[in-house]
Structure 1
Amino acid sequence: MNIAKMIDHSLLRPELTTTDIRRGCDIAAGRAVASVCVRPSDVELAAAALAGTGVLVGAVAGFPHGDTRTSTKVAETRELVEAGADEIDMVLHVGRLRDGDAAYVHDDIAAVVAAAQGRVVKVILENAYLTDEQKILGCRLSERAGAHFVKTSTGFASGGATLADIRLMRATVSPHIEVKAAGGVRTLDTLLELHGAGATRFGATATEVILDDYAARERGEGPTAAAPAPDAGY
């Protein structure tokens, strides 16, 4: 099992400096993870730092609240693609989903998918604010709008990925739609449990801890001690 290729190394906290972003890209490249997920202003920096490494550059749109106008999300997505983003993690409009405004939510997502010009789009539902019925609706609308992933959380709300949510999301979308877990994925055991429930990609800041633990277990050394986790941002 290639755990590294399931991880999107998250570099989204507001206090991160350009030095922090470069260091995070070095970690991502050294560990050969799937991608880094960076703030919009850091896409060019990450693209340059990761050129030739095989690590993708992901960027967020409408982050973290999802309540910007669709036209703003579209313009942002186009700029991100031009700057070198390979994947887009967008936040749907949580309030409109809670309203049951299916047309608005669908069209908002579909517009971003079109603006991404074939790049992978992951739709963040922000499950902490939703009922199960709203989560199901959000997943179905995301699939109908052409998204490639449904994703649990931004990592900045009151809650993150849960086993129940991963199972619900996996059961709701078609097999070709993937599920990304984010928010609170700080240990290998958590990642493996969520993977068993159907998640195939994971947003994480504790990338090194998770991969060091996996390597230790592969060597038969048992679990390693977990490092303190940041308060927010996956």
Structure 2
Amino acid sequence: MSTEPITIGPHGSWDASLAAKIDHTLLRADAQPAEIEKLCDEAKAYHFAAVCVNPWFLPLARERLQGSTVALCTVIGFPLGANTTEVKVFEAEKAYAAGAVELDVVLNTGAMKAGDTAYVARELTALRRAVPKALYKLILETCNLNHDEIAHACRLAADAGFEYVKTSTGFGSHGATVEHVALMRESIKAEMHVKASGGIKDRSKALELVVAGASRIGSSQSTALVRLENPHVL
């Protein structure tokens, strides 16, 4: 992977190749509007792929990102994934109407572990049909699944027409690992992608996950991941 930096104005040098793979994320329960505005400004400055915020902040983030190429992402059924399908569909529809073009949906882990994969499949299909133009990512919360369950969940996401599978919410016992990213990459269709998220706080780990097969990195520490110089600027 290329790590060719670019230098623009006061922000110093950063890894533009890695920046283009990052979903700049702020999902804390106590996040404030000023923090969301800063998140969006950083995403525009560093040309991140997307910002990911909780649904309540979508109108603010949409306005702040207006005119930029940064995609607007939100979460559905977050963080447990245990909402009913009807609730998740309602969330997805409202989020898309509010400007979110990328939807990170939390898997119903209980159904998956109970072997009720038919329920999971129906839920994912219902979401895909409800908002057909959205880009969907299925959050597996891999810390709660064994290898067979991870691989099976990836196949269900593929069958439902999801574009991505994602490792973690960031609220589980651990986040992204190289082992899980590689397993997920092996378990999906060639045209699909893996998003690694959860506990990614330094550049070296981010690059390891990209090498393992991640096309997107979700992090609240995004600027630290991409900066090559002037780490305290912006």
Give me the TM-score of the superposition, normalised by structure 1.
0.90
What is residue 165 of structure 1 aligned with on the other side? Answer: 180
What is residue 88 of structure 1 aligned with on the other side? Answer: 103
What is residue 204 of structure 1 aligned with on the other side? Answer: 219
Deviation at 1:151, TM superposition (A): 0.4
Question: For the residues of structure 2 that align with 1:117 and 1:171, how far apart are their CA atoms?
Answer: 25
> Which ranges of structure 1 fall in alignment gaps of 5 or more residues?
226-234
1:140-193: CA deviations, max 9, x gaps? Answer: 111101100000000001010001001100111111110000001111111110
Question: For the residues of structure 2 that align with 1:114 and 1:52, how far apart are their CA atoms?
Answer: 29
3-state SS, counterpart of residue 64 of structure 1 = coil
Q: Does 1:53 align with 2:71?
A: no
Deviation at 1:60, TM superposition (A): 0.4
Q: Which of 105, 108, 114 is matched with 1:99 structurally?
A: 114
Deviation at 1:53, TM superposition (A): 1.0
**Any conservation in 2 of the 1:92–1:108 contact (CA below 8 Å)?**
no
Deviation at 1:128, TM superposition (A): 0.6
> Could you tell me the percent identity over the aligned residues?
38
What is residue 124 of structure 2 aligned with on the other side? Answer: 109
> Which ranges of structure 2 fall in alignment gaps of 5 or more residues?
3-16
Deviation at 1:94, TM superposition (A): 0.5
Deviation at 1:117, TM superposition (A): 2.5
Q: Which is bigger in relative contact order (C-alpha 8 A, separation at least 6)?
A: 2
Give the number of equivalent residue pairs: 217
What is residue 6 of structure 2 aligned with on the other side? Answer: none
Deviation at 1:93, TM superposition (A): 0.3
3-state SS, counterpart of residue 105 of structure 2 = strand
Deviation at 1:115, TM superposition (A): 2.0
**Any conservation in 2 of the 1:88–1:116 contact (CA below 8 Å)?**
no
Q: Does 1:65 align with 2:80?
A: yes
1:45-104: CA deviations, max 9, x gaps? Answer: 111100111101000000000000100000110000100001000001000000111110
For 1:174, give the aligned amino acid: K
Give me the TM-score of the superposition, normalised by structure 2.
0.90
Deviation at 1:30, TM superposition (A): 1.0
For 2:126, give the aligned amino acid: A
Question: For the residues of structure 1 that align with 2:132 and 2:150, how far apart are their CA atoms?
Answer: 26
**RMSD in angstroms over aligned alpha carbons?**
1.3
Q: Which of 111, 114, 138 is matched with 2:153 structurally?
A: 138
